[in-house]
Amino acid sequence: MSSSPITLEELSKHATKESCWIVVHGKTYDVTDFLDEHPGGSKIILRYAGKDATEAYSEVHPPNIVTEHLTPAQQLGPITLPASTSSSSLAAAPAPPAELSPEQLDRLVLLSRRPPIDNILSLHDFEAVATEMLSRSAYAYYASAADDEITMRENHLAYARVFFRPRILIDVSTVDFSTTILGQPSSLPIYITATALGKLGHPDGELNLTRGAGKHGVIQMIPTLASCSFDEMIDAALEGQTQFLQLYVNKDREKTKSIVQHAEKRGIKGLFITVDAPQLGRREKDMRQKFDDTTDGSAVQTKGGDKVEKNQGAARAISSFIDPGLSWKDLDFFKSITNMPIVLKGVQCWEDAVLAAEAGVAGVVLSNHGGRQLDGSRSGLEVLVEVVRELKARKLFPNPKFEIYIDGGVRRATDVIKAVALGATAVGIGRPFIYAYSSYGQEGVEHACQILKDEFTMNMRLIGARTIKEIVPAMVDASALSHHSASVPSDRLFEANYASLEPTRLRAKL
């Protein structure tokens, strides 16, 4: 590390691919040799070559990741402003600004306009508020799905094609909806599934989920692409709180091994390997934000000889490290490096669920990635019916050593109850919790959990089930589930929140 501070003039001289320095939190880093290793590719870093990258870095990265990936020699030291601008180094803790930026003012205005959290009656309400609270690019990233977004909508609408067959005259004075997931206690048959880039929605990012889930006894699945660091989320958990890890498999297996074994040492109770993303899907809402961003493709990229792809969006920009060569033979590798139960996340047909059960993994998540991968994929709920049928035919289910989960589209406790009745152990919920903390922070996460608990109490009484074990297949009619043209009442709340895709248009007249 340099013994003397770096000047702005010196920083500006290193603004090419051949010599690339950036500033993060007041410290200067030589990232020249790291450009090609960066999971999001070199183009993103080169936008900030010779500049302060703190704001962009903080939106999507844990605070300590830059030092973890660079050698001491690459960590050049603090940077100083000219004396006429500031008498102190940027490395010092910044003082509160005398005036708020326009963005901060806008945020304060939005916060003042939020309805009281007691007015939030359902998970749909969180999305309605978050739509107004989030920046355009953040909402586009969270809400986007693949291509025409048919699968994303189908994930939710599939639940409307399953109807209840409630039992009556059951003493439901007391109901208990607690369960176990991979042998770990859970207050509800749900878990918070992994979602990336939490700080796009709130400064505390995924820590809102950790803290809120801990208070309600709900399991959080930690994402590979979180904005907060893995250890931050572990350290923020309550004593005894259960957390799982979602893993995108790196092409470099040694890096993957290091991540997995570190997670196990820190107490992670389950490894969920994402298997439906050899390449991330085309999410046009997200991609269009980059297309409209006129700051991309600056002279810095031209100097470095690396043209920026304006249409890649946040999702594609952070995912180039994912291994498209992942295959069934890699399961032996994972079994050799960890004792954690392994679950395959992203199974979409009964044939692969059977292979997974026969391979000895602990379970599968029937998931299409929230509709963000292959548009036209079926809902996890629909796949669940055939998976249970075929596993039973082969005497592979029920099986205490193999559990089935689904995710995608859940907005009500009734959705979860339908899935449980059809054979799921638990259901993953993603976007609604993002919208909850984007709108109200940790309080939003806690309120979302309480809404689900209240809905469970009411609906278990109404169907005549006192425990999760009493929610059985006979309590639902799923005969229309695979009839995609079946006439069902429209879901007005869901449709009101859905933001339609927009085509590209002619530019305004000059």
Residues 327 and 303 in one domain: no
One-letter amino acid of 313? G
Distance, CA of 190 to CA of 405 (rounded, Å): 9
Residues 250 and 396 in one domain: yes
Distance, CA of 109 to CA of 462 (rounded, Å): 42
Q: Which two tokens stand for residue 24?
A: 């993060």
> In degrees rounded to 5, what are phi and psi of residue 263?
-60, -45
Write down the catalytic residue from 29, 57, 191, 248: 248
Write down the catalytic residue from 125, 147, 204, 276: 276
- How many other CB atoms are found less than 10 A from the CB of residue 260? 22
* 357 within some domain: yes
Residues 413 and 304 in one domain: no
pLDDT, residue 52, reads 82
* 502 within some domain: no
Residues 393 and 438 in one domain: yes
Q: Which two tokens stand for residue 236?
A: 């923020």
pLDDT, residue 425, reads 98
Helix (H) or strand (E) holding 51: strand 51-52
* 503 within some domain: no
- Whole-structure pTM value: 0.77
Residues 297 and 323 in one domain: no
Cis peptide before 398 (omega within 30 of 0): yes
| Whether the Cβ atoms of residue 272 and residue 247 lie closer than 8 Å to each other | yes
Residues 78 and 146 in one domain: no
CATH number of domain containing 7: 3.10.120.10
Residues 301 and 326 in one domain: no
Residues 323 and 184 in one domain: yes
pLDDT, residue 496, reads 85
Q: Residue 48 belongs to what domain range? A: 1-92+286-314
Task: Give 181's strand partners.
Answer: 184
Write down the catalytic residue from 14, 61, 156, 369: 369
Distance, CA of 436 to CA of 446 (rounded, Å): 9
One-letter amino acid of 298? S
Residues 139 and 44 in one domain: no
What does the pLDDT profile of the chain (510 residues) look like in tens digits? Answer: 555 778 877 888 888 888 998 888 888 888 888 876 665 567 778 888 888 887 777 655 666 767 777 888 888 888 876 554 443 333 333 434 445 566 666 667 777 788 999 999 999 999 999 998 898 888 989 998 888 899 999 999 999 999 999 999 999 999 999 999 999 999 999 999 999 899 999 999 999 999 999 999 999 999 998 999 999 999 999 999 999 999 999 999 999 999 999 999 999 999 999 999 887 778 887 887 753 333 332 222 222 333 334 445 555 555 667 888 999 999 999 999 999 999 999 999 999 999 999 999 999 999 999 999 899 999 999 999 999 999 999 999 999 999 999 999 999 999 999 999 999 999 999 999 999 999 999 999 999 999 999 999 999 999 999 999 999 999 999 999 999 876 677 777 888 888 887 765 555 655
Q: How many domains does the chain have?
A: 2
Helix (H, G, I), strand (E, B) or coil at 191: strand
| Whether the Cβ atoms of residue 367 and residue 346 lie closer than 8 Å to each other | yes
Distant-in-sequence, close-in-space partners of 265: CB < 8 Å, separation ≥ 6: none
Distance, CA of 170 to CA of 163 (rounded, Å): 20
Residues 206 and 159 in one domain: yes
Residues 204 and 224 in one domain: yes
* 364 within some domain: yes
| Tokens 């638990």 belong to residue | 426
Angle at CA 186, nearest 5°, toward 128 and 157?
40
Q: Which of 489, 471, 472 is nearest to 480 (CA)?
A: 489
Q: What is the dihedral of CA 375, 380, 493, 417, to 10 degrees?
A: 180
Catalytic-residue membership of 276: yes
80-106: buried (b, 16+ CB within 10 Å) or exposed (e) per residue?
beeeeeeeeebbeeeeeeeeeeeeeee
* 42 within some domain: yes
| Whether the Cβ atoms of residue 429 and residue 193 lie closer than 8 Å to each other | yes
CATH number of domain containing 193: 3.20.20.70
Residues 412 and 396 in one domain: yes
* 255 within some domain: yes
* 147 within some domain: yes
Contacts of 134-137 with C-beta under 8 Å, sequence gap 24+, read 134/200, 134/201, 134/438, 135/200, 136/289, 137/200, 137/289, 137/314
Q: What is the DSSP letter of 212?
A: H
Q: Which two tokens stand for residue 347?
A: 């199974």
Q: Which of 17, 74, 69, 14 is nearest to 46 (CA)?
A: 17
Helix (H, G, I), strand (E, B) or coil at 236: helix
| Tokens 């907060």 belong to residue | 228
pLDDT, residue 437, reads 96
Q: How distant is the alpha carbon of residue 347 from its chain centre?
A: 18
- How many other CB atoms are found less than 10 A from the CB of residue 74? 18
* 15 within some domain: yes
Helix (H, G, I), strand (E, B) or coil at 318: coil
